[in-house]
């Protein structure tokens, strides 16, 4: 059975006092039917692990166990302190830090090797959507960086679809567009791993999901929750989204 999930990606936001207050408020909301994950900046991960019952993830890591990689954090270090999830392939990591499909594949492998769960992000930019190539584009992302995994490995993954063209552009992805892509992703997982795996894998929507549109989005057959950006910084909005299933 697929899990309903709301994952809050805080990105590079908040200072310590704000992070502590947000975590405290989020921790008050209890619903066993919804998996709640927070992806705070790395300096707030320990606070989340120590003082809440939330699932905690890391926004980024370097795919080596240890070494001379100044400024980086390894998947081994994250696992050691109690982190459960990692984001891989987020559009901002691809865009601003030039993370290639080959590098993302390496990160997926590294995370799974130490028992971390992967939230793998995929999605197309505006020019690809306007040229009607979005399906082949997203399918190739999955083939390049995720579909090399074994059946057991992919069971420890979540896919998050980000329509990049609908984030901060003034354009809006319709519920139908979201469901069409999610249904396609599930069909590709089915082709690769079979019906059982495809029906158990959660696919999240990451295109400006908020308290106003979450209920309609989550009612789609193939949308199992959201990867939430800006709305995850407001505890009332995030809780409202979590209540939208």
Q: Among all residues, which ones are annotated catalytic?
A: 90, 162
Helices (H), 28-100: 45-51, 75-81, 91-96
Look-up of token digits 């390496």: 106
Look-up of token digits 């995720």: 146
- Asked if 119 contacts 7 with a C-beta cutoff of 8 angstroms, the reply is yes
Handedness of CA 196, 111, 205, 133 (dihedral sign): negative
- Asked if 34 contacts 6 with a C-beta cutoff of 8 angstroms, the reply is yes
Phi, psi of 77 (to 5 degrees): -65, -40
Residue ranges of E strands in 123-175: 157-161
**Residues near 36 by Cβ (< 8 Å), separated by ≥ 6?**
5, 6, 7, 8, 26, 29, 54, 55, 242
Length of the chain: 245
* CA atoms within 13 Å, Cβ hemisphere of 132: 0
212 closest CA partner among 223, 189, 228: 228
Distance CA 226, CA 240 (A): 12
Q: DSSP code of 161?
A: E
């Amino acid at each position: 059975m697929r899990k309903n999930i709301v994952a809050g990606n805080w990105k590079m936001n908040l200072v310590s006092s704000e992070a502590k207050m947000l975590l405290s408020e989020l921790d008050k909301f209890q619903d066993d039917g919804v998996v709640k994950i927070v992806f705070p900046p790395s300096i707030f991960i320990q606070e989340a692990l120590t003082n809440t019952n939330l699932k905690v993830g890391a926004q980024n890591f370097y795919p080596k166990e240890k070494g001379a990689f100044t400024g980086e954090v390894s998947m081994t270090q994250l696992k050691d302190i109690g982190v459960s999830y990692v984001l891989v392939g987020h559009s901002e990591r691809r865009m601003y830090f030039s993370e290639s499909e080959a590098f993302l594949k390496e990160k997926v492998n590294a995370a799974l090797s130490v028992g971390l769960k992967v939230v793998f992000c995929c999605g197309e930019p505006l020019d690809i959507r306007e040229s009607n190539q979005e399906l082949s584009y997203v399918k190739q992302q999955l083939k390049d960086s995720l579909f090399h995994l074994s059946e057991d490995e992919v069971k420890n993954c979540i896919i998050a679809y980000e329509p990049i063209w609908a984030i901060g552009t003034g354009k809006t992805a319709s519920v139908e567009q979201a469901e069409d892509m999610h249904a396609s992703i599930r069909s590709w997982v089915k082709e690769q791993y079979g019906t059982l795996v495809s029906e158990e894998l959660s696919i999240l929507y990451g295109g400006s999901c908020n308290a106003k549109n979450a209920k309609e989005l989550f009612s789609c057959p193939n949308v199992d929750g959201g990867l939430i950006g800006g709305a995850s910084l407001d505890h009332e909005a995030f809780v409202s989204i979590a209540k939208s299933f």
